[in-house]
Amino acid sequence: MNKKVFVSGCYDMLHSGHIAFFEEAAQQGDLYVGIGSDKTINELKARKTINSDAERLYMVNALKVVKEAWINSGSGLLDFIEELNTLKPDIFYVNTDGHTPQKEALCKEMNIEYIVSKRVPHGNLPARSTTALRQECRIPYRIDIAGGWLDQPYVSKFASGSVITICIEPDFEFNDRSGMSTSSRKKAIELWHTDIPEGEKEKLAKTLFCFENPPGTKYVSGSQDSLGITMPGLNKYFYDGTYWPSDIQSILVSDLLEWIEQRIWMIPLYPREMDYDVLANTKIDENGARWLSEATDSCWKALQTQDAQAVGKAMTQSFEAQISMFPDMVTPDILAQIDFYKKDVLGWKVSGAGGGGYLIFFSEKPIENAIQIRIRRN
């Protein structure tokens, strides 16, 4: 009897990369495909699908390598749990950007073999992903390396300090509510549609910040988000009790940016729950703000000298300062994931405001099944 192989995903805009992935998985046995519903994808990606779930089901079922397909009945990143319990597959097959620790842990619990594909295209065909086919929108995301929260006056009023960000190319479609400036990015798409326009980047960032936070806005988003996706390269923004930085330092030196790219590794967690309040139980004070500011300064110096050990240490100290003031940035599950990886890496943090999103590691050694990024140069 053939093994049962299960895969799950969106499979919108069906392309050769999907087919190659299905063919690769089907080499392991009979292939069963779970498809995310329109509702689930809208919750995770904050957008509508190009093709409805009925259309996607029809197309996937028509493929000769697929034994059976269905629309998953659940919601969220693990929308297939009921189907796994019914199917009882031997293998769960995922690609690199579909891998999450939660999926791997679930398979271990259910005694299912977990295999991560390296996304190899068929024959001489080019590598394809749905994100790559959405290249009409080239507006970046951002990663905050250190200092996050100092762009809020209610933190920097206790101690002035900096936030360090990198502007990253949209090679992956990062989940909504995951600390990657997706809210600011959606506003940028409303403004500029396809890419950051030509012009003075700080002025463009200020335009985006004002568009996202019109007069009367109750909760003003930090300006590191609009700056982080608008200004290319590596940037440091200095805040002293105001929403907009009083000083900006930018680095576009390709050798340094490449050095950073080779050492940033991201592990997907899950989107922050809609009703999860990261601002609950805050303990903001001068000690925490000063600790955060000093750690960020150390990180900036270490980045410029390409001292990997010091970067990792400062990134971790910045993160620890953050959670000393905002303890709900982390959950027991997030801390458990960090504990699993931290012995093999130089530094760690959670993307953005936390509560989910992505683990961000600084490591000179590869991290299995992690995502790597490209920093925008211009």
Query: 4-129 has which CATH code?
Result: 3.40.50.620
Can you give the pLDDT at residue 5? 97
Q: Can you name the CATH fold of 141-362? A: Ribosomal Protein S5; domain 2 (3.30.230)
Do residues 31 and 115 lie in contact, with contact meaning Cβ atoms separated by under 8 Å? no
Q: What is the pLDDT of residues 320-338, one digit of tens each?
A: 999 999 999 999 999 999 9
Those residues with Cβ within 8 angstroms of residue 253's Cβ, 6 or more apart along the chain or in another chain: none
pTM: 0.75
Tens of pLDDT, residues 187-224: 999 999 899 999 999 999 999 999 999 998 888 999 99
Are the C-beta atoms of residues 47 and 54 closer than 8 Å to each other? no
Closest residue by Cα to residue 345 from 369, 360, 365: 365
Look at residue 339 in the predicted model and tell me its pLDDT.
Answer: 96
**Can 4-129 and 141-362 be said to share one CATH topology?**
no
Q: Which residues contact 76 (CB under 8 A, 6 or more apart)?
A: 40, 43, 44, 270, 271
* CA 372, chain centre distance (Å): 10
Q: What does the domain layout of the chain look like in residue ranges?
A: 4-129, 141-362
Query: Could you write out the DSSP letters of every residue in 328-376?
Result: GG--HHHHHHHHHHGGG-SEEEESTT-SSSEEEEE-SS--TT-B---B-
What does DSSP assign to residue 51?
S
Q: Which residues of the chain have pLDDT under 70?
A: 46, 119-136
Residue 316: the pLDDT is 98
The per-residue pLDDT for range 303-319, each reduced to its tens digit, is 999 999 999 999 999 99
The reported pLDDT for the residue numbered 140 is: 96
Angle at 77 between CA 29 and CA 74, to 5 degrees: 85
